[in-house]
Structure 1
Amino acid sequence: MRIQTPLATNVVGSLFPLLALCQDNANWISVGDDGRSFSLSSSNVSYQFHVDPLTLDLIHDHWGAYAAETVPDFNGVVSGWGTAYTYRRREFPDLGRGDFRVPAIHIQHSDGDTVSAFSYTGYDINPGKPSLPGLPATYGSEGDVSTLIIHLYDNYSDISADLYYSIFPRYNAVTRSFRITNNGSRDVTVLRASSWSIDMPNEELEMIDLYGDWAAEARINRRSVTYGEQGFRSSAGYSSHFHNPFLALASPSTTESFGPVTGYSLVYTGSFSADVERWSTGWVRVLLGLNPLHLSWPVAPGEVFTSPEVVSVYSEQGLGGMSRSFHSLYRNHLSRSNYTFETRPPLLNSWEGLGFDFNQSSMVKLAKEAADLGCSLFVNDDGWFGTDYPRNNDSLGLGDWTPDPAKFPDGLGPYVEQVDNILVQNTSEHVKLGLWVEPEMVSPDSDLYKRHPEWCMHAGNHNRTLQRNQLVLNLGLQEVQDYIITVIESILDSAPIKYIKWDNNRGIHEMSSPSANHANMLGLYRVIDNLTTAHPEVLWEGCASGGARFDAGLLHYWPQSWTSDDTDGLERLYIQFGTSYPYPPSAMGCHVSAVPNHQTGRTTPLAFRAAVASMCGSFGFELDPSTLTQEELDTIPKLISTQQRINPTVINGDFYRLALPDQSNWPAAMFVSPEHDSAVLFAFQIRSALKPLPPPLKLQGLDPDAKYTVSNGTWEQNWSGSTLMNIGLSLSWPTSDYESIILTFDRH
């Protein structure tokens, strides 16, 4: 429905009663009887704001636990050195009218000025949720989600803004994005676009975010929110290793299991900015959206700019409750792959075994060795392509996606047929083949670059800086998009390839303009949308030197991403626990590699490495089977069998971080099925210690009234859910480092 409201008159401060206008969706969206106060609510949460009666500016009231009424700020006008706009908790803050805090929207008009004055004009309420043109976003039917659209207009510039709020009641989640329409006769430029903006009250808060670098992703960072600006951003052209497009704000007393927390996740893969600013009033402004250094987006007359979506969830069950909301929402209403809820095949990747030095015979031999271990997917990594510039090292051939005739003289078809004829050990299942690709990149020594040097990202006559001996293709150009779609389609048409590992191994330098990054992202989304839609039978995995693009944007298109190039078992515990704050473990890929680990030099037991890898949706190996001992060859099939048995619970279950590796020598986590009838526990000992003794491990998420059979595969015990959660387990650990225990729980 569309409601147009007249200019408001002054009203005295009072409780704003709410009149439900969306009866079909369980009153998830309600509007005050004055037509100017709004609430998106479920039984657990409320998001509330209203229209200022004098200026028609939007004022934020509340985001958190459910509240039956909207309560205005009774502090009245706050005096100070600023204007009235300085001392308001604004919902869509602009720049230039006296609000000196960081704005959510910043537009440069054709005459050069950057003042905006958006005023409320009306609203719509729609069941379900519209898609975002050209962008990944959450989705759902009217039984899952309802959407409020707030209409604003700047009469001075003829620019309209539509704010899209959607509530997913089942997940305690609200999403937000906006659209800017140029209704004037001259171009304007969007300089800053924060999809989420909120002014929180004066409360003591701590910010949690994820920082890192290559092979050290997703380290948990928790700090107090003090006066002034604090935040983080990626200027790498991608979401990046350095910072993840996620943050949370929590009370200092909030823990994993108790206390209030709001989480914010940007559904986007490019450069981004997260800004948290505590003002003189103590209010805290939270902004999440595009990085203004990489925006300056031109909007011609009649055109529309759409901001990416931000998902926010509220939890009173601590950071764990926040994570479970994100996980469930993203599995059910963001990821759209056929494999999202499916058990993933155990795989062996060729890279650690053969690198660039292989041919068809050696690859088939390695695939047979993988099958003998129990792997049903064999992945041919880098080095399989290139004719004039064969990919025999990492300086050649990127962009030339044709099989190297020296390695595969008859093309991929006969090679894949040979692999497909291999039987997996002790099964009737045949091995499937997957390929590594890096389609967004080009080598200077390649046929593609020789033909089209103008296709790479470059800035005038500046140096075209190489990183990992390669350049970035400009996917902002449609001809580049079409080329990538065509060559990947030709690969998939040439043979029954069942898995694609899509890599990206460098950031973007020398952009032709600030807007080139967002144009590149829109082009990337078009390419991946086309390919994944046309080939739903393929299991797609994202990779960017590990976790440099582990974000909600790409999770929309493929069900899993390579979490890190660091495959050391201990380091992976930190990386995976951190990544799980916003992203479901079902979307993580983790493999068992050889020891000593080639990144850290550390040697950990095979069972420990396998247990860490089994905590992820996708499990596999990065090693050369010919170098394994007989004991390892005998053990790996058993580890795969265990992993496949518990993988459905890992894929579909609710995830509980019981003890973090940052805080305990005995980190642990568990997955509980949605019906609470099964669970799997992963527990670890980092260092052997005589004292102190390990604390009892209290489980979570079980049915307290049910009895569970607890098993490690060789013994069984029966305990009630209440005993397991309130007394806990006292696990017995060997006197050795890097130990692991996997227990399963089955309800009677």
Structure 2
Amino acid sequence: MIKKITGSQELFILNTDHTSYMLAITPSGHAEHLYYGARIDVDSAEELEALRQKREFEPGNAIVYSADHPTTVLEDMCLEFSGTGHGDIREPFIELVRADGSRTTDFLYRGCEITDSKPSLSGLPGSYNADGTAEHLCLAFKDGAMLLELHYCVYPECDVITRWAKLVNNGDHAIELERLLSTQLDLPDNEWQTTSFHGAWTREMEKSTASVSHGKFVIESRTGCSSNRANPFFMLHRPDATEDSGAVYGFNLIYSGNHYAAVEVSAYRKTRIAQGVNPAGFRFILEKGESFTTPEAVMTYSENGFSGQSRNMHRFVKDHILRGEWAKAERPILLNSWEASYFNISESSLVSLAKAGHELGVELFVMDDGWFGDRSDDTRSLGDWDPNHKKLPGGLGRLSKKITDHGMQFGIWVEPEMVNVNSRLYEQHPDWAMAINGKLHSEGRHQRILDLCNPEICDYLIEKMSEVFSSGKISYVKWDMNRIFSDVYSPYLLPKRQGETAHRYILGLYKIMGALTKRFPHILFEGCASGGNRFDLGILCYFPQIWASDNTDALCRSHIQEGYSYGYPQCCIGAHVSGSPNHQTLRSTPLETRFNIAAFGALGYELDVGKMFRWDKEHTRLQITLYKVWRDVLQYGDFYRIRSGNVHEWICVSDDKTRAVGMMMQESVEPNTQAHRFYCKGLDPDRTYRFHNISGRVNIKLFGSLINTMSPIRIRQDGMLHNMIARFIKMGGEVEDHTAKGSVLMSAGVALRQQFSGTGYNENVRLFPDFSSRMYFIEAVE
């Protein structure tokens, strides 16, 4: 709910179910931020006066705004936005250069509008309500002929408030906009920590926490994409915040390009959070009558720790970001050909691989790279989106029919934004690639970036991809982007407008994705950028899931997926079971663990299932059957992190709290630690549940030479006899089966069966060596 209170100054209150956001217009015409936190009910201006900063005299060595307002010191105020000049020397919200070269801005309040609908964002994606309504506030500020609009939207049920800004040049002269951010939040103290998520290719979303008591902490991408180096999602929290308690703010940006966030503590120990398009390299020229709209920023607050913040963000993404036919649909279990075949594909080998997957219960077969042009490696043919008829004699039509005739769906891989110099497309249109004339262009993965600032290229890609997607029975598209930007230059734009290139590229990308998802609403699009190099809310407005990382190692994925879980729900996290040893780390992990980790996402497989051992095939078939039963909970249930570190524990709970799936994984075994206890979360404390697992079968090779302590004959480890015995004899695994109230399962937990510690084994002992895991199922008992 948005409420305006009129008194000596105008005051605005934005309430969600559990939070309040309050601001006031000062006598000088500035927007003062008063409060953002747990919901408080305020009915009058007099009550809000308690929140206003009081000042009788100016501090020393500071700038007073004007003689008419001698106690207005902008540097020591909590503001809704700030410019340059007039004394506020902190992180600015807006920076621009006028025709006369001056940079000082002075935007003062001119009015407001409260509506029940949300305006469009000029080519940018944004949040939405399914019924088309939105609680929306617009505050207008003017500086001469320039108009600055601050927009706010409220999503009460998920405790989220979004913000964006629009600048309009109504003057006779052009202005150069060097910065316009999306949100600014000023807090009155500096007792905060920042948790952000960084990394690189194959190690995305590494969680990092820093205290910012003085100075500035910056989270940014200059890669042309939201980047695996620094995800745009981050949190601000009290030092004593835990998973379940404490004050936590969450921030994100609905944008897929260069982003910037700063957490700055002023000389007066106030904390400013600012986020938006990265101003580095940015310069947007606004002629008379032109405007610039920023991406939409997302803010939430929870008193219930990191977990409460996460559930707010998850609910927001599921209800107000994901859209189309796949927004609420269960994701199919897929088999991707990449790690099974790489570029070495043919129609017959793909059909054979798909049939093997179908026998295990896989629902969707995906042909990855290598199907088009002369694509035998990654140095050639990117951009030539016609099937290679030596590999696929009947094209996509015949191959897709053969796959779908077996009762599966069919999907393909594309990378439309890129081009190899060694390609027909580049030979025909060398000016379509980003490059500076006469200068060396540095490449990544032997490819260049098509200039999506050019509408001709965008239109070509829309039509060419439409041709590809219409050429067969295609139900899924993996949309990849395998390099970051370098030597950023648009041959299409004028020299004076090169500072617009990075942002206009993203607008072109959104135009393409918007057109194709509208033309092909039945296709499940999965975003990918060398894994998680473009995992953001902007992509999720078009593609309902994103490939989280090219790293499919289960141990690494436990950290990567846990990192994503702070800001993104499971249904949009692509996760695959791959071969062992893993292709990225050469680590060997149990099939059970590879499945258990991948199951907490949009499950897929990426290995040669036709060449799996019989036991592994049987085990995989059972895993897939199990996942289908619990898929709705795993993809759309409320997610809780129970424990992190050497032991990871997660749980997903259905909306009605009648079903839940828990998972425990151990990174490295600690000798003689026999007892583990699993604490559930999110259950109904008064309801009775059955807590149980599905007992597995134990491969006796796990015991190595210990088999000789029970064998009447000497067996050589890994010898022929050892392998033969292991093939036909499996030992039983431990069984957990308990009935208890939700309050018991959450507060006291379940004492699990004894972990093996070298002193003996029977079927009641839990074998839990390095990289082991278990999945537990919790069902309400009527």
TM-score, normalization: structure 1? 0.92
Which residue, 636, 640, 665 being the options, matches 1:656? 640
Which has the greater radius of gyration? 2
Gaps (5+ residues) in structure 1?
Answer: 1-26, 423-429
Within the alignment, does 1:68 sit opposite 2:41 as a pair?
yes
Would you say the 8 A contact 1:294–1:514 is kept in 2? yes
**What residue is the counterpart of 2:718 in the other structure?**
none
**What residue is the counterpart of 2:448 in the other structure?**
471
Q: CA deviation at 1:359?
A: 1.6
**What residue is the counterpart of 1:586 in the other structure?**
571
Q: CA deviation at 1:641?
A: 1.0
Q: CA deviation at 1:410?
A: 2.6
Within the alignment, does 1:39 sit opposite 2:8 as a pair?
no
Which residue, 727, 733, 743 being the options, matches 1:722? 743
**What residue is the counterpart of 1:28 in the other structure?**
2
Would you say the 8 A contact 2:204–2:532 is kept in 1? yes
**What residue is the counterpart of 1:56 in the other structure?**
29
Structure 1 pair 735–142 and aligned structure 2 pair: CA distance change class (3 A) = closer
| Other structure's SS at 1:196 match | strand
Would you say the 8 A contact 1:204–1:251 is kept in 2? yes
Q: CA deviation at 1:417?
A: 0.9
Aligned amino acid, residue 772 of structure 2:
E
Q: CA deviation at 1:692?
A: 4.3
**What residue is the counterpart of 2:405 in the other structure?**
421
Q: CA deviation at 1:477?
A: 0.7
Which residue, 235, 243, 258 being the options, matches 2:222? 235
Distance in 1 separating the partners of 2:549 and 2:58: 49
Distance in 1 separating the partners of 2:643 and 2:119: 39
Within the alignment, does 1:351 sit opposite 2:335 as a pair?
no
Q: CA deviation at 1:142?
A: 7.3
Structure 1 pair 681–128 and aligned structure 2 pair: CA distance change class (3 A) = farther
Q: Deviations over 1:487-527 (max 9, x none)?
A: 11001111110000000000011112231000000000000
Aligned amino acid, residue 739 of structure 1:
S
| Other structure's SS at 2:662 match | strand
Q: CA deviation at 1:226?
A: 2.2
| Other structure's SS at 1:195 match | strand
| Other structure's SS at 2:345 match | coil
Aligned amino acid, residue 769 of structure 2:
S
| Other structure's SS at 2:197 match | strand
Q: More deviation in 571-580 or 130-139?
A: 130-139
Distance in 2 separating the partners of 1:639 and 1:43: 39
Structure 1 pair 191–275 and aligned structure 2 pair: CA distance change class (3 A) = same
Which residue, 516, 520, 523 being the options, matches 1:531? 516
**What residue is the counterpart of 1:645 in the other structure?**
629
Would you say the 8 A contact 2:194–2:234 is kept in 1? yes
Map 1:576-615 to 2 at 5 A.
Answer: 576-615=561-600
Would you say the 8 A contact 1:82–1:99 is kept in 2? no
Aligned amino acid, residue 619 of structure 2:
T
Distance in 2 separating the partners of 1:522 and 1:697: 47
**What residue is the counterpart of 2:713 in the other structure?**
none
Map 1:183-582 to 2 at 5 A.
Answer: 183-386=170-373, 390-422=374-406, 430-512=407-489, 513-582=498-567
**What residue is the counterpart of 2:773 in the other structure?**
740
Aligned amino acid, residue 10 of structure 2:
R
Within the alignment, does 1:122 sit opposite 2:116 as a pair?
no
Distance in 1 separating the partners of 2:356 and 2:599: 21
Structure 1 pair 644–117 and aligned structure 2 pair: CA distance change class (3 A) = same
Structure 1 pair 727–421 and aligned structure 2 pair: CA distance change class (3 A) = same
Q: CA deviation at 1:670?
A: 0.7
RMSD over aligned Cα, in angstroms?
1.5
Within the alignment, does 1:636 sit opposite 2:636 as a pair?
no
**What residue is the counterpart of 2:699 in the other structure?**
none
Distance in 1 separating the partners of 2:132 and 2:514: 26
Q: More deviation in 651-660 or 144-153?
A: 144-153
Would you say the 8 A contact 2:247–2:301 is kept in 1? yes
| Other structure's SS at 2:773 match | strand
Aligned amino acid, residue 560 of structure 2:
I
Q: Deviations over 1:597-624 (max 9, x none)?
A: 11111100000000000011x1111111
Distance in 1 separating the partners of 2:619 and 2:634: 22
Q: Deviations over 1:51-109 (max 9, x none)?
A: 110x2011111111112332211355550322122221111100122211110111111
**What residue is the counterpart of 2:100 in the other structure?**
111
Q: CA deviation at 1:171?
A: 1.0
Q: Deviations over 1:295-314 (max 9, x none)?
A: 21111211110000110000
Q: Deviations over 1:93-134 (max 9, x none)?
A: 001222111101111112222111101000000114333221
Q: Deviations over 1:314-373 (max 9, x none)?
A: 000101100100000110111113222222111111111111112211111111111122
TM-score, normalization: structure 2? 0.88
| Other structure's SS at 1:176 match | strand
Distance in 1 separating the partners of 2:468 and 2:233: 35
Within the alignment, does 1:626 sit opposite 2:610 as a pair?
yes
Distance in 2 separating the partners of 1:675 and 1:591: 28
Would you say the 8 A contact 1:230–1:276 is kept in 2? yes
Count of residues in correspondence between the two structures? 705
**What residue is the counterpart of 1:4 in the other structure?**
none
Aligned amino acid, residue 391 of structure 1:
R
**What residue is the counterpart of 1:11 in the other structure?**
none
Gaps (5+ residues) in structure 2?
Answer: 43-47, 64-72, 490-497, 696-734, 754-765
Would you say the 8 A contact 2:193–2:239 is kept in 1? yes
Aligned amino acid, residue 39 of structure 1:
I
Distance in 2 separating the partners of 1:294 and 1:533: 33
Distance in 1 separating the partners of 2:40 and 2:58: 25
Would you say the 8 A contact 1:44–1:65 is kept in 2? yes
**What residue is the counterpart of 2:706 in the other structure?**
none
| Other structure's SS at 2:499 match | coil
Structure 1 pair 75–608 and aligned structure 2 pair: CA distance change class (3 A) = farther
Within the alignment, does 1:704 sit opposite 2:691 as a pair?
no
| Other structure's SS at 1:488 match | helix
Q: CA deviation at 1:32?
A: 3.5
Aligned amino acid, residue 720 of structure 1:
K
Q: CA deviation at 1:744?
A: 1.6
| Other structure's SS at 2:647 match | coil
**What residue is the counterpart of 2:727 in the other structure?**
none
**What residue is the counterpart of 2:657 in the other structure?**
676
Would you say the 8 A contact 2:83–2:94 is kept in 1? yes
Would you say the 8 A contact 2:253–2:298 is kept in 1? yes
**What residue is the counterpart of 1:17 in the other structure?**
none
Distance in 2 separating the partners of 1:690 and 1:208: 33
Would you say the 8 A contact 2:174–2:286 is kept in 1? yes
Identical residues among aligned pairs (%): 35
Q: CA deviation at 1:165?
A: 0.7
**What residue is the counterpart of 1:79 in the other structure?**
59
Distance in 2 separating the partners of 1:731 and 1:77: 65
| Other structure's SS at 2:351 match | helix
Would you say the 8 A contact 1:187–1:299 is kept in 2? yes
**What residue is the counterpart of 1:9 in the other structure?**
none
Q: More deviation in 630-639 or 82-91?
A: 82-91
Would you say the 8 A contact 1:254–1:318 is kept in 2? yes
Would you say the 8 A contact 1:378–1:431 is kept in 2? yes
| Other structure's SS at 1:704 match | coil
Structure 1 pair 558–638 and aligned structure 2 pair: CA distance change class (3 A) = same
